[in-house]
Structures are given as C-alpha cells and as structure tokens.
Amino acid sequence: MENLIVIKIGGNSIETLTQTFFSQIRQWMLADKQILIIHGGGSKISELSDKLKIPVKKIDGMRVTDAATLELTRMVLLGQTQPQLLMKLTKANIPAIGLNAADESILDGSFLDKEKYGLVGKINKVNDKLLDEVLEKHVAVLAPMALTAKQQWLNVNADTAASKIAGLLKAKKLYLMTDVPGVLHEGAIVRNLSPSTAAKLQEQKIITKGMQPKIKAAFSALNLGVPSVQITNQLSTLGTTIIQEGANENAIYL
C-alpha cells in the first residue's frame, strides 16, 4: 500500500490527543493517504487487573497473558479503548471503522513463546484486501489481537503488532506514539537512533524496560522495509527517527 501511514497509539495517549492530531489526519486523507491506527490499552488493562486482583507479570516489557488476562485484555481493547478512539475521530469529523481479528480473519497469528509468555502472539498475516476496502474511505482502527488457525485469541504487544503490520503492508511511514516527545537522553530528544546507540542507552538504563519493546519494534519495522519510522508524542513533530547503523546520526555523545 504505497500511500499507507500506520500509527500506533497507547491507551493513555488516546485520552490526551490534541486537535493537531486530528487536523493532521484530515490533511493526510485529503492528500489521499491511507491511515491505519493500531491502538493499545496497557495501562487500562493493568488498572483493571489490579481491581479484579489478577496478577500482572511482565517479562522484558511484554505482558505475560493467561486465560483471565486475555479475556480482560479483549474487554479493555474492544469495549473501552477502541470505542473511545472511534468516538473522538467521529467528533472530529473523520470517518473511521473499528476492526479486530474476528473481522474476516484480518490478523492471523501464532504463539510468540507459549511457555514464557502464555497467550501472547505474533502477527503472521494481514487480510490486506479487507483493509484496502476499508481504507479507501475510512481511517481503520485496529486492535492488536490475533487469531490462530484454531481460532485461539492471542494478545499481541501493540508496538510489535504495528511494526509487523506496517512491514507486511509495505507502509511508507510508521509513527509509534508515546507519552514523551521521543527517546530522551539527559532531558534532550535523541533525534536519530541507530542500533548501537540504542544498545548503549539500554546498558545505561536510559532506555528502560517499558521502552524496550517500542525500540525493538521500531528497528524491526525499519528492517522489514518501512522507510520512515518515528517515536514521538505528536504527528506534527519528528521526535526520534529510527535509522540504520552507519547512517548520519548527528552524534549523541555517550
């Protein structure tokens, strides 16, 4: 999809979206860009888990998912965060349709590591025909859950899902939106981030476990052929641009 822009939005970010965000979406649609939004909901899932006394366990920033956590995740993503985002888009006069894995098997997946993470998956295939039809006139809002060949629901990290989907669909841009303006080092935005600099920042614990899946997903998208990958809190600002090793990094001194 040569005009596709993929945007990943976390659950917290949905509540703080500004008019600038919706204005940018409208401008892109007027320019015949296709917009696919992958939405998360991690903080809401953790919050509800605490209320229901369901233990929260993460390994390297990935949520370990048992049957109870899976049902809770589906409840939050499909019953809370997706409708919330759709309402905001509608209020901003942006035509949008919500989608999930059960819609014509839009997201086929398999277990990431069942023994380690439980009911957590990875995306293997996207129903691009269905998406192309929806994206012709609408913004698509897609939940990051997949179905296996045996119809088992799987929880998929939203950053990982956005990265793989962007790669499979040959998107032109991927925005991984977060609640900070980019990867930060001593209060300043790291404008360009290569694998070696990312490794150094992780060693120094500047890139924390919560950010690690996002960084990993960003480099994965770049390696899958997505030419432009940004980590930012605003579509109107570049934030941190993900670059290949050896590209001009405008050196950050570590």
Binding residues: 41-42, 63, 155
Strand partners, 125: 108
CATH code, domain with 143: 3.40.1160.10
Q: Is residue 85 part of a domain?
A: yes
From 5, 43, 22, 3, select the one nearest 178 (Cα to Cα): 43
Q: Indicate the pLDDT class of residue 249, thresholds 50, 70 and 90.
A: low
Highest mean pLDDT among 49-58, 60-69, 138-147, 200-209: 138-147
CA–CA dist 84, 95 (Å, integer): 14
Which residues are designated catalytic?
A: 8, 11, 42, 159, 214
Instruction: Domain of residue 20: give its range.
Output: 4-177
CA triple 135-30-240, angle to 5 deg: 80
Binding residues for substrate: 41-42, 63, 155
Task: Give the per-residue pLDDT at 43.
Answer: 82
Please give the DSSP secondary-structure letter assigned to residue 116: H
Q: Name the token pair of 22.
A: 């919706």
Segment 198-225 shows an average pLDDT of: 86
Phi, psi of 229 (to 5 degrees): -130, 125
The total of structural domains in the chain comes to: 1
Instruction: Quick: pLDDT tens for 48-80.
Output: 888 998 988 888 778 999 999 999 999 999 999
Q: Is residue 67 part of a domain?
A: yes
Q: Is residue 223 part of a domain?
A: no
Exposure b/e, 233-247, CB count within 10 A at least 16 = b? bbbeebbbbbbeeee
Whole-Å CA distances, 87 to 47, 83, 158 = 22, 6, 20
Instruction: Quick: pLDDT tens for 6-34.
Output: 999 988 888 889 999 999 999 999 999 99
CA triple 207-200-252, angle to 5 deg: 90
Task: Give the per-residue pLDDT at 253.
Answer: 40
Between β-strands 121-126 and 107-111, what pairing exists: parallel, antiparallel or unpaired?
antiparallel
Q: Please list the alpha-helical segments (H only) found in 99-171.
A: 114-117, 128-135, 158-168
